[in-house]
Structure 1
């Protein structure tokens, strides 16, 4: 087993949770000055405890559990179980994104078909459905597709999971791009946000290439006004990673961008952590981070290790010969 690759795989999941908890107290606030300290202090609009993760990580945990349990993402029952877990969590969650709450509330059953019908209805009612609520939870999915030849199946799975709650193409596209970038960072230790562009519909590729290029020449605070939109969230994350010097500086930049800080930092953490590895996370964060379902970050680490061990290829079980 390549220990560096394992460290990067763990880093993707753990840094996402750390970014979430770091950004929680600053949510809905303005952009901060470059020298403004960013602290895992708790508080914010929902009164989070210091180090407590929000809905971003809470929704990602059932995805991670499914990967750790060897779920098959081409089976409808996997998505049904995911929806059941989210529905149970949402009953008492202090914060559930408006798009996700609306879809879960409209579902007639915990099935993929019912969820997609509800997502379409919410989209038609509101005229849009490209919030960042599917991108924020997508990081753990990459851990189930680290083997050779798994890029296309990952793209299919990422879009399918996004479509459960977010009908609009931008949301699915963003999940495809981000999970493939995370997978590439884990496997190769390199940043390539464009890696997943060939997996998008042909007519949407130029649009996303332009969006990525714009993000690379921007700063996170340039996206504050609309970073609840999945495209702006992704662009803010790309900007933070492009400008950042290490995972801590990168996540702090994501938070200083203001607006939907917990979600932008969680998204940023997925890719920044896949580049830097879990070993780059400071202990003062990792010992503090916790959240639903009453667990600490070490529990998330254990789940992530199980997920890694199940993936076919270089980290886990041998890939079957065809």
Structure 2
């Protein structure tokens, strides 16, 4: 059973389920060219896995690692929680990863020997920071795709959410741009769940360092003025966010048209659609997601739609009603 449509719980569950559906919808078209405007994407599987129809990829798999951490820990920024998330990433890498980005793979490989130890998150974050400091490009979209569940643990604490989004991004992505993108999108998800609107991404500019706000404001302006396929280098976190934001704001008619627009952007289709799907699900709720998507979506480590919704709601129950109710 899913929560009643139009409720905070409906939108909270929609944040994780929407991301998973976007991921699975984008899987068949990954690293392909933009799709024609009238092409309707389908959950037909295939892709890089190859994946079964409706199976989600690394985007949701890593989001699940974070979501389970939030479900099981009262303090998301505690050493215990960060170590749990880092260990979950390493477990996923060895046991469940159907795909993994180059940047994330390199960082997890460097931290592998620390698995199960008291400093695993510290070691992982250090490897990411060292990679960035060396001049290696470190602003991929691999942290933005997974951090949406953090919003559910901070529904009434935007400042705390911004800190958590940046910190969980830095586990694998040392470039500040990656963390800033996570701050913006997580605030978008948070406000969508609480208020049922799309004001949060713009509002998130105030949560960024002062010297970063002008650039991100201009990037959002550009996304609002151009179609998703204009941001073709969407493995780069700025372009991924722009492609997703373009799909969300330029298709104002609900969950499905915007999600289709995200997939049509081409290239890293599963990730752009997972990013867009988290915000769209948070805005419109589970009740707006097509039944065909809901019945088909599934993936590591064994979740289907009902399980993903329950995982999201377990985070809200543990964290989200503690400051002002929901």
Is TM (by shorter chain) over 0.5?
Answer: yes
Aligned to 1:101: 105
Deviations 1:6-44 (A, max 9, x none): 111111111000000000010000001111121000011
Does 1:38 find its partner at 2:47? Answer: no
Deviation of 1:263 after TM superposition, in Å, equals 0.2
The answer to whether the 8 Å contact 2:74/2:319 transfers is: no
TM-score when scaled to structure 1? Answer: 0.94
Does 1:10 find its partner at 2:17? Answer: no
Aligned to 2:288: 280
Equivalent position to 1:113, from 122, 127, 130: 122
Deviations 1:252-307 (A, max 9, x none): 11001100000000000111111111100111111100010122121111111211
The answer to whether the 8 Å contact 2:48/2:99 transfers is: no
Q: Distance in 1 between matches of 2:264 and 2:188?
A: 23
Aligned to 1:199: 207
Deviation of 1:319 after TM superposition, in Å, equals 5.4
Does 1:136 find its partner at 2:139? Answer: no
Equivalent position to 1:217, from 225, 230, 251: 225
Deviation of 1:126 after TM superposition, in Å, equals 5.1
The answer to whether the 8 Å contact 2:187/2:203 transfers is: yes
Q: Distance in 2 between matches of 1:163 and 1:292?
A: 23
Equivalent pairs counted in the alignment come to 314
Aligned to 1:123: 132
Q: Distance in 2 between matches of 1:295 and 1:182?
A: 22
The within-5 A match list for 1:181-200 is: 181-192=188-199, 193-200=201-208
Q: Distance in 1 between matches of 2:66 and 2:74?
A: 9
Does 1:160 find its partner at 2:167? Answer: yes
Equivalent position SS for 1:73: coil
Deviation of 1:109 after TM superposition, in Å, equals 1.6
Deviation of 1:98 after TM superposition, in Å, equals 0.8
Equivalent position SS for 1:91: helix
Q: Distance in 2 between matches of 1:79 and 1:215?
A: 33
Deviations 1:26-85 (A, max 9, x none): 000000111112100001122110000000000000211122224312211211111111
Residues 1:318 and 1:213: Cα distance change in structure 2 (over 3 Å): closer
TM-score when scaled to structure 2? Answer: 0.93
Deviation of 1:117 after TM superposition, in Å, equals 1.2
Deviation of 1:94 after TM superposition, in Å, equals 2.3
Q: Distance in 2 between matches of 1:229 and 1:81?
A: 27
Q: Which consecutive residues of structure 2, in runs of 5 or more, have no partner in the other structure?
A: none
Q: Distance in 1 between matches of 2:40 and 2:70?
A: 36
The answer to whether the 8 Å contact 2:13/2:310 transfers is: no
Deviation of 1:312 after TM superposition, in Å, equals 4.1
RMSD: 1.6
Equivalent position to 1:53, from 53, 56, 61: 56
Does 1:63 find its partner at 2:72? Answer: no
The answer to whether the 8 Å contact 1:212/1:235 transfers is: yes
